Amino acid sequence: MKQLIIGLLICLLCCSVSLAQGDIAIVKSAEGDVTVKRNREIVSIQQSDRLQSGDILITGDESRVGIIFHDGSVLSLEEKSFLRIKDFVFEPLQKSFSFNLSLKKGVALFESGKIGEIAPEKFSFEIPQGTVGIRGTKFLVEVK
Amino acid sequence: MMLVRFIIIAVAITVMSGCSSSSRVVLLEGKKAQSSVIVTMDRGCKRVLDTPNTYTVLTSTNTKPSNTKVMNKTELDSQYGALIEAAPKPPQEFLLYFEPGSTTLTGPSTQLLPDIVMTIGNRQPCDVNIIGHADRMGSEQYNIELSLKRAQHVNQWLANEDVTVERTTVESYGESNPLVPTADGVGEPKNRRVEVSVR
């Protein structure tokens, strides 16, 4: 049985592996009342759940959620917060990056990951009065 | 390399004669030494925060972010201590190296494997990314294929270990994320790595 599973795994891996569409983050922790608004539905969220581009995260009183995105960036939301994941694209081989978050209310902690390293200009965090961006330090080395 | 950490608070306050709201952006100490954020108001005025534990305030009635203020540790702890504590730890990354042109791990890299298993055990629930990287020497395609094969080799090893991983992905980033930036065509062994990122 184990042989069969390993065999299947190898077959799967021989094809080029790309992430299931829409799955962009894992919920590492969820305390209290945490929900996601997705395609007009409200879904309760708990540890180990997956998030998708477009999701709106909503925390109730005394509630908190911690998530890690596929590029390794960390987001934590305090109680009574309302945050939308506007989009998240992380495809280094295609050089395709995009990461936009929007906090309508509440408190969020964010620690950037690979998009912040590779393409900081593709990241933006909107708040009602403006936008927070990462000031990138990108450099080229050219030896002639 | 940059890892930036900040807290954003958006607070909406409705006052009787209308609506006004304000936000505060606090730059925190990140994992790496140098990090900064640039806060831009909708009308274009900007403020850069580049010292940890400083912040700026934006109000809907103003046209530019406030002057940079310092937040002392006591205030930081009392306002955001719980949030900072509760935030997930950033991914733990392991770098694995191989014998030239092969999918055999070097001795020192083989010794890292038990640490990877232990870290996965300590970070439940977790995802694991196994990422092949290449340097800029030789054909990009060859390097992508070799680094992907190496990543697959690591994935096979992981599949045989007695650990639970929510999801393992095996990828190659090619040349796009070097440890040591180089010009095109330059070989750099430090860039020819497989990274195991435990999130």
Q: What is the pLDDT of residue B53?
A: 87
Q: Which residue of B has its CA nearest to A20?
A: B169
Query: Looking at the complex, does the CB of residue A64 fall below 8 Å from at least one CB of chain B?
Result: yes
The whole-number mean pLDDT for each consecutive block of 10 residues of chain A, a chain of 144 residues, reads 60 43 88 95 95 96 95 92 95 92 91 88 90 65 38
Kindly write down the DSSP assignment for every residue of chain A, as one continuous string.
-HHHHHHHHHHHHHSPP-PPTT--EEEEEEESSEEEEETTEEEE--TT-EE-TT-EEEE-TT-EEEEEETTS-EEEE-SS-EEEEEEEEEETTTTEEEEEEEEEEEEEEEE--HHHHH-GGGEEEEETTEEEEE----------
Pick among A109, A140, A142 to test the B interface (most B CBs inside 10 A): A109
Of A66, A72, A143, the CB nearest to B87: A66
Task: Residue B97: name the closest of B153, B137, B140, B142 by CA.
Answer: B153
Compute the radius of gyration of chain B from its Cα atoms. 22
Q: Is B46 left (phi over 0), alpha (psi -120 to 50) or beta?
A: beta
Put simply, the answer to whether A132 touches B1 (Cβ < 8 Å) is no
Q: How far apart are CA B22 and CA B20, in angstroms?
A: 7
CA distances from residue A63 to A59, A67, A111, B92, B172 in whole angstroms, order as listed: 6, 14, 20, 26, 37
Q: Which residues of A touch B86 (CB under 8 A)?
A: 29, 31, 64, 66, 76
Whether cis (ω within 30° of 0) applies to the bond prior to A128 is no
pTM, full prediction: 0.83
**The pLDDT of residue A138:** 39
A91 contact B CB<8A:
no
Note whether A120 contacts B: Cβ–Cβ < 8 A: yes
Asked if the Cβ–Cβ distance from A6 to B156 is below 8 Å, we say yes
- Residue B61 has a pLDDT of 75
Q: Is A106 on the interface with B (CB under 8 A)?
A: yes
Q: Which residues of B touch A17 (CB under 8 A)?
A: 169-171
Each residue's pLDDT tens digit in chain B (199 positions)? Answer: 456 777 765 544 333 334 567 888 888 887 665 678 888 887 778 999 888 888 888 887 777 888 888 988 898 888 888 888 889 998 999 999 988 888 889 999 999 999 999 999 999 999 999 999 888 877 778 888 888 999 999 999 999 999 999 999 998 888 888 888 888 888 888 888 999 999 9
